[in-house]
């Protein structure tokens, strides 16, 4: 198989693009670096396409390795034929290679292998040939009775021969393929309760039947969890007669043969004992893998949306981590996220010290000139929010408040990383501080937490953890590199996600910074221990230095392109000061004037040729010069701030409101509408037109207008619609 051609065909791109991209990957270049700084080489492939191509490349290379290994193993047995070799070489999936290898695979002792040891293979071949039409099966089997080989009677010989045939049927790659496909298209997933009297969250599956080919991914994961918790029994149900008929078409060659009846019985045994259990496992695994892949995709997309939430800069913040018995921890942060003070308030049960809480908040607000109050959305959030809203209203402060998702904050605050960052603070104060910083710079704060703990997916603890971890690491890496980092303020956690930088190098960067003061030039990175030329080439463009020696160090222009950027600025008469002053808004006019052409694209092409630089690279430099160090998070919906509070009891059917999407799952989106429990917009209520998945319409962090269509006051559940 030509992997390059196959990838080009699958991704609908040119062969040269694939060849160049694979060469870059094999050289050890990171995906963010390739996506941003090697556009000419790849033909402008995005980081998403590059990730998928890299993943597929690994699979196809693994497939080729397995084919070579299987061919070698069969050749060693002296059983390779030209036809078999051809079948193995043209296999497009690993499953097919394994099916073809199955008859030759060294198995543990089976009924068939024991029968062969007893000399019954010739008898099995006689049965299978189906040439005899007279006499009896017993007469044919009689000569194979051999007490010395534990074939004590005729029935033993017949049974042994049938066992050999059953295994031949089960090992047949073509039959296996056909049975697998028929099972997938015709089987049902059937679930029932282990204890029908027990009340559980799985009651809808206590007596449930659904077509295997059509069951939605979220139901697969729910059923898997119910089975794991021993609340559900699950089976793949098919019509065995249908499967017997498929096998019989291949096996039965002569209906008048005296072996016809015994072969039919053997077909039933081969299917029930050998094929059905393994194919049922395959089907369950197939559904699970498909559901996990979709869940990981949703989790990754939600995590990306959360990480790309716009930072709220230049605001002084009170961050409150709510609680009951031990009170609410309060952290006070300045505009840069530096901790200015911390305390504890007790507005909730059992103390309900509202007066003391208000006095403390008043003192902090007036001393530090607070702009925003942040409240975590965990335990006691609702009650704390009410106190905060009333406090703001009563004092007439021009202050807003917002709710921040605190998923993972406790994981971070108790982590080794948090202890290293703030050894003098207790766990709860670290947690409150983290909540405030999530508002000020969500990306910088959330990278300190294991992405799995951020909690914006479904069934994240039930799915393949290695798969989830890999996907989420890629997402965090892409987000961090898309935004870039301030080399003089970034934490080791943030730096470790930059292309070419691992945690060891990240810590060395911070240690160098602490010892030698602020970086004044990107080139200074080469003085950092273990950060060599290769790592520098990968990471330099994503590192920003404001107020450095070279204004270009504050931009996303890679040092390798400084010559082109400076030559362009000289030709267009742009002063370097324009970079630090917020860019040159008239760049396009200047380009057209310097390189007259029918379109801006043609002008840029002419300039690129003149400067000896790629057109895509030059287009990126121009964009950067227009608005240096632009933060891509500016395009995301802004944070919703509040200054009032709404209780669950205030909600009414048909009430319209604005909310923030907190989570997107297969069956809909959960929206924060200002009450303790998020409302659900079911997939059927997301749009007036048909959509395949909620992500076609919404993402985590989106601001949406919704209307209440159902309220369950007992279960505190709200049904919403976005169909207006």
The CATH code of the domain that includes 87 is 1.10.10.650
Mean confidence (pLDDT) of the chain: 93
- Whether 243 and 155 share a structural domain: yes
Distance of alpha carbon 536 from alpha carbon 528, whole angstroms: 10
Sorting pLDDT into bands at 50, 70 and 90, what band is 644?
Answer: low
Q: What is the pLDDT of residue 714?
A: 86
Element (H, E) at 319: strand 317-321
* Nearest C-alpha neighbor of 553 from the set 513, 592, 525, 586: 525
pLDDT per residue as tens digits for the range 492-539: 999 999 999 999 999 999 999 999 999 999 999 999 999 999 999 999
- Given a contact cutoff of 8 angstroms between Cβ atoms, the answer to whether 144 and 151 are in contact is yes
Are residues 71 and 162 both part of a single domain?
no
Where is the domain boundary, 80, 104, 128? 104
How many angstroms separate the first and last alpha carbons of the chain? 53
- Which residue has tokens 């404001």? 546
Give the end of a domain, one of 425, 440, 455: 440
Contact, 401 vs 319, CB < 8 A? no
214 and 351 fall within a common domain: no
Q: Could you tell me if residue 478 is inside a domain?
A: no
Is pLDDT at 679 greater than 80 in this prediction?
A: yes
Would 306 be classed as within a structural domain?
no
Task: Provide the CATH number for the domain around residue 334.
Answer: 3.30.420.140
pLDDT > 70 in the chain, percent? 99
pLDDT at 645 over 70: no
Tell whether 543 and 628 lie within a shared domain.
yes
pLDDT at 716: 86
- How many domains are contained in the chain? 5
Q: What percent of the chain has pLDDT over 90?
A: 77
Q: Which of 635, 661, 678 is where one domain is finished? A: 635
Widest CA span in the chain: 107
The residue with greater pLDDT, 393 or 168, is 168
**Domain region containing 85:** 3-104
pTM confidence score: 0.84
User: Do residues 85 and 70 make contact, with C-beta atoms less than 8 angstroms apart?
Assistant: no
Reading the block at residue 11, the tokens are 């991704």
Task: Please tell me whether residues 281 and 153 are part of one structural domain.
Answer: yes
pLDDT of residue 234: 98
Is 142 a residue whose pLDDT tops 90? yes
- Distances in Å between the Cα of 507 and the Cα atoms of 441, 531, 532, 542 are 21, 11, 15, 17
**Residues 45-95: tens digit of each pLDDT:** 999 999 999 999 999 999 999 999 999 999 999 999 999 999 999 999 999
Would you give the DSSP letter of residue 151?
B
Q: Show the tokens assigned to 16.
A: 């040269």
Q: What is the mean pLDDT of residues 132-136?
A: 94
- What's the confidence (pLDDT) of residue 383? 87
Q: What are phi and psi of 680, to 5 degrees?
A: -105, 125
Q: What is the CATH number of the domain that holds 673?
A: 2.40.50.140
Task: Note whether residue 308 is domain-resident.
Answer: no
Which tops the pLDDT comparison, 101 or 414?
A: 101
> pLDDT tens-digit profile of 257-269?
999 999 999 999 9
Task: Note the pLDDT tens digit of each residue in 470-486.
Answer: 998 999 999 999 999 99
| pLDDT exceeds cutoff 80 at 552 | yes
Sign of CA dihedral 355, 360, 363, 365: negative
Among the residue ranges 105-109, 157-161, 404-408, the one predicted with the least confidence is 404-408
Instruction: Identify the CA nearest to 498 among candidates 552, 443, 422, 560.
Output: 443
Q: What is the mean pLDDT of residues 195-220?
A: 94
Do residues 129 and 251 share a domain? yes
Write the CB contacts of 81 (distance below 8 Å, at least 6 apart in sequence).
none
- Going by C-alpha positions, the residue among 221, 275, 229 that lies closest to residue 251 is 275
Does residue 116 sit in the same domain as residue 262?
yes
pLDDT of residue 410: 80
**Omega into 350 within 30° of 0, i.e. cis?**
yes
Phi-psi region of 517 (alpha: psi -120 to 50; beta: other; left: phi over 0): left
In a domain, 487, yes or no: no
Q: What is the pLDDT of residue 406?
A: 85
Element at 237 (helix H, strand E):
strand 232-237
Contact 561, 617 (CB under 8 A): yes
pLDDT of residue 452: 80
The reply to whether 628 and 662 lie within a common domain is no
Element (H, E) at 65: helix 47-76
Query: Among 81-85, 406-410, 683-687, where is mean pLDDT lowest?
Result: 406-410
What is the reported pLDDT for 646? 65
Which H/E stretch holds residue 26? helix 15-26
Q: What is the mean pLDDT of residues 609-621?
A: 95
Residue 494 lies in a domain: no
Residues 156, 216: one domain? yes
Residues 131 and 260 in one domain: yes
Residues 6+ apart with CB under 8 A from 338: none
pLDDT digits (tens, 9 = 90+) for 559-612: 999 999 999 999 999 888 878 778 888 888 999 999 999 999 999 999 999 999
DSSP-assigned states of every residue in 656-716: EEEEEEEEEETTEEEEE-SSSSPEEEEGGGS-SS--SSGGGT--TT-EEEEEEEEEETTTT
641 located within any domain: no
Verify that 325 and 214 share a domain, yes or no: no
Residues 626 and 671 in one domain: no
């Amino acid at each position: 198989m030509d992997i390059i051609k196959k990838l080009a065909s699958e991704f609908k791109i040119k062969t040269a693009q694939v060849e160049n991209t694979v060469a870059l990957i094999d050289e050890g270049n990171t995906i963010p670096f390739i996506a941003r700084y090697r556009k000419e080489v790849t033909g402008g492939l995005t980081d998403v396409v590059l990730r998928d191509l890299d993943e597929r490349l690994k699979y196809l290379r693994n497939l080729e390795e397995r084919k070579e290994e299987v061919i070698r193993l069969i050749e060693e047995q002296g059983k390779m034929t030209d036809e078999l070799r051809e079948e193995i070489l043209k296999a497009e999936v690993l499953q097919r290679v394994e099916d073809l290898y199955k008859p030759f695979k060294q198995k543990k002792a089976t009924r068939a292998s024991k029968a062969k040891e007893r000399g019954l293979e010739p008898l099995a071949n006689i049965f299978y040939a189906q040439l005899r039409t007279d006499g009896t099966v017993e007469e044919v089997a009689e000569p194979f009775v051999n007490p010395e080989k534990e074939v004590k009677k005729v029935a033993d010989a017949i049974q042994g021969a049938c066992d050999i045939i059953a295994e031949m049927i089960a090992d047949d790659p073509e039959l296996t393929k056909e049975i697998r496909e028929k099972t997938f298209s015709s089987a049902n997933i059937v679930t029932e309760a282990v204890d029908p009297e027990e009340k559980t969250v799985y009651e809808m599956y206590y007596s449930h039947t659904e077509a295997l080919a059509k069951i939605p991914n979220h139901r697969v994961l729910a059923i898997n969890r119910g089975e794991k918790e021993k609340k559900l029994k699950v089976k793949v149900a098919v019509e065995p007669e249908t499967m017997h008929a498929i096998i019989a078409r291949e096996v039965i060659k002569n209906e008048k043969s005296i072996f016809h009846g015994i072969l039919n019985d053997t077909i039933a045994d081969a299917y029930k004992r050998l094929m059905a259990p393994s194919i049922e496992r395959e089907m369950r695994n197939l559904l699970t893998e498909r559901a996990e892949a979709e869940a990981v995709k949703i989790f990754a997309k939600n995590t990306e949306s959360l990480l790309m939430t716009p930072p709220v800069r230049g605001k002084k913040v009170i961050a409150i981590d709510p609680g009951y018995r031990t009170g609410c921890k309060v952290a006070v942060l300045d505009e840069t996220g530096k901790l200015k003070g911390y305390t504890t308030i007790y507005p909730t049960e059992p103390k309900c010290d509202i007066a003391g809480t208000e006095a403390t908040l008043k003192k902090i607000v007036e001393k530090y000139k607070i702009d925003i109050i942040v409240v975590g959305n965990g335990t006691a959030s609702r009650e704390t929010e009410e106190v905060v809203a009333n406090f703001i209203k009563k004092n007439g402060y021009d202050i807003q408040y917002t709710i921040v998702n605190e998923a993972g904050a406790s994981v971070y605050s108790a982590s080794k990383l948090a202890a290293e960052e703030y050894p003098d603070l207790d766990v709860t104060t670290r947690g409150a501080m983290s909540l405030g910083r999530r508002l000020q710079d969500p990306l910088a704060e959330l990278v300190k937490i294991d992405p799995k703990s951020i909690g914006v997916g479904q069934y994240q603890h039930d799915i393949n953890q290695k798969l989830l971890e890999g996907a989420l690491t890629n997402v965090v890496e892409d987000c961090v590199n898309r935004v870039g980092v301030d080399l003089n303020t970034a934490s080791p956690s943030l730096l470790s996600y930059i292309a070419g930088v691992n945690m060891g190098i990240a810590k060395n960067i911070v240690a160098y910074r602490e010892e030698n003061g602020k970086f004044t030039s990107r080139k200074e990175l080469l003085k950092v221990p273990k950060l060599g030329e290769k790592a520098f080439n990968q990471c330099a463009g994503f590192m920003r230095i404001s107020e450095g020696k070279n204004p270009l160090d504050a931009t996303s222009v890679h040092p390798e392109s400084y010559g082109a950027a400076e030559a362009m600025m000289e030709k267009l008469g742009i002063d370097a000061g324009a970079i630090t002053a917020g860019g040159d808004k008239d760049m396009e006019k200047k380009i057209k004037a310097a390189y007259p052409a029918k379109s801006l694209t043609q002008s840029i092409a002419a300039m690129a040729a003149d400067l000896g630089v790629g057109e895509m690279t030059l287009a990126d430099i121009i964009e950067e010069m227009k608005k240096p160090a632009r933060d891509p998070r500016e395009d995301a919906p802004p944070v919703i701030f509040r200054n009032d509070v709404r209780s669950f009891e205030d909600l009414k059917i048909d009430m319209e409101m604005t909310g923030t999407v907190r989570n997107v799952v297969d069956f809909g989106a959960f929206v924060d509408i200002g009450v303790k429990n998020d409302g659900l917009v079911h997939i059927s209520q997301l749009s007036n037109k048909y959509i395949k998945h909620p992500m076609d319409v919404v993402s985590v962090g989106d601001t949406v207008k919704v209307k209440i269509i159902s309220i369950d006051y007992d279960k505190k559940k709200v049904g919403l619609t976005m169909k207006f």
